[in-house]
Amino acid sequence: MNSSPRDLDDPATDPFDVAADAAAVIAERTGAERHDVALVLGSGWGQTADLIGETLATVDNADVPGFHQAAVVGHTGSMRSVAIGETGRRALVFGTRTHFYEGRGVRSVVHGVRTAKATGCSTVVLTNGCGGLNPAWSPGTPVLIRDHINLTAHSPIEGANFVDLTDVYTPRLRDLAREVDPDLDEGVYVQFRGPHYETPAEVQMAKVIGGDLVGMSTSLEAIAARQSGLDVLGISLVTNLAAGISDSPLSHDEVLEAGRLAAERCGRLLAAVVGRL
Ligand code: 8IG
């Protein structure tokens, strides 16, 4: 490999070259020439990939160009190559993501998605933990992402490159998820910068502009995925009611607990969807 790895933050670096470097390391370490689907596990989703199939290799993020250790408690700073049942296909499971609020720049935020494409994936499943605006969504409810509103004021796309976002969250994949779990609701995900949660007034704003879910990830990654020609499935786990929707204050412990409670439903959903892609 390169003795001096390319620096993703250097404007002179092409981020797609770093993704290609990362994919080469992943292929070498996992023994898999290609992967077919990538999953990004957000808050509350940590254990949910276990039902997809057997883990054949685990690679530390620190060993892969452009990747970083986990910044969030409950996330895992490694990626796994998982056999998708008996299909002979492979899933690349990212145990954590880089969030925009970490200040590493938007290239780092979308590096996993670009690396997924470079390993051969045609689909990425983006999961997250988020706040819900619909009081009927009790903590632990998974919700399909139908569309998003990106309030970060940033884009992962560089230059005059006008990527169409009409169907960011591939309709066929949403149909597939609903076949697996007919009770799944859909919603519009609003990405805030964070890392603070919203004020109740900001949550009301999200509602007025058409949002159903509030979080700190996913939108930028989904945009980069569409630029790369990947199909996208987005699933949020409502881990808490958004600020002001219920009377109680928000805590990360509540987030982790909701994840534990929802792990079985979410795990079955992921395994079934990935098995049928
Ligand atoms: I987990 O209520 C989780 N992540 N912005 N708001 C935002 N992000 C979140 C929330 C939330 N819950």
Give the Å distance between the CA of 259 and the centre of ligand 1: 13
Query: Which residues are registered as beta bridge partners of 141?
Result: 238
* Residue 121: partners with Cβ closer than 8 Å, 6 or more residues away: 35, 36, 37, 38, 92, 230
Q: Which ligand 1 atom minimizes the distance to the CA of 243?
A: 2
Q: What is the mean pLDDT of the chain?
A: 92
Q: Are 97 and 217 in contact (CB under 8 A)?
A: yes
Query: Is the pLDDT at 93 greater than 80, yes or no?
Result: yes
Q: Which ligand 1 atom minimizes the distance to the CA of 190?
A: 5
Query: Is the pLDDT at 214 greater than 60, yes or no?
Result: yes
Cis-peptide, bond into residue 195, ω within 30° of zero: yes
Kindly report whether the global pTM for this prediction surpasses the value 0.75: yes
What is the sign of the dihedral through the CA atoms of 67, 68, 73 and 79? positive
Provide the pLDDT confidence category of residue 4 given band limits of 50, 70 and 90.
low
Hunting for tokens 């989904």 — which residue is that?
222
pLDDT for the residue numbered 75: 67
Question: What residues act catalytically?
Answer: 198
Tell me the mean pLDDT in the region 233-237. 97
Tell me the mean pLDDT in the region 50-73. 89
Provide the pLDDT confidence category of residue 74 given band limits of 50, 70 and 90.
low
The CATH code that applies to domain 15-276 is: 3.40.50.1580
What are the residue ranges spanned by the domains of the chain? 15-276
Over its C-alpha atoms, the chain yields an Rg (Å, rounded) of: 18
Q: Which ligand 1 atom minimizes the distance to the CA of 242?
A: 2
pLDDT for the residue numbered 1: 45
Tell me the mean pLDDT in the region 61-83. 85
Tell me the mean pLDDT in the region 143-168. 96
Give the Å distance between the CA of 130 and the centre of ligand 1: 4
Q: List, chain by chain if needed, residues with CB within 6 Å of any ligand 1 atom.
A: 43, 129-131, 192, 194, 197-198, 214-216, 239-240, 242, 250, 255
| pLDDT tens-place string over residues 166-194 | 999 999 999 999 999 999 999 999 999 99
pLDDT for the residue numbered 2: 44
Give the Å distance between the CA of 243 and the centre of ligand 1: 9
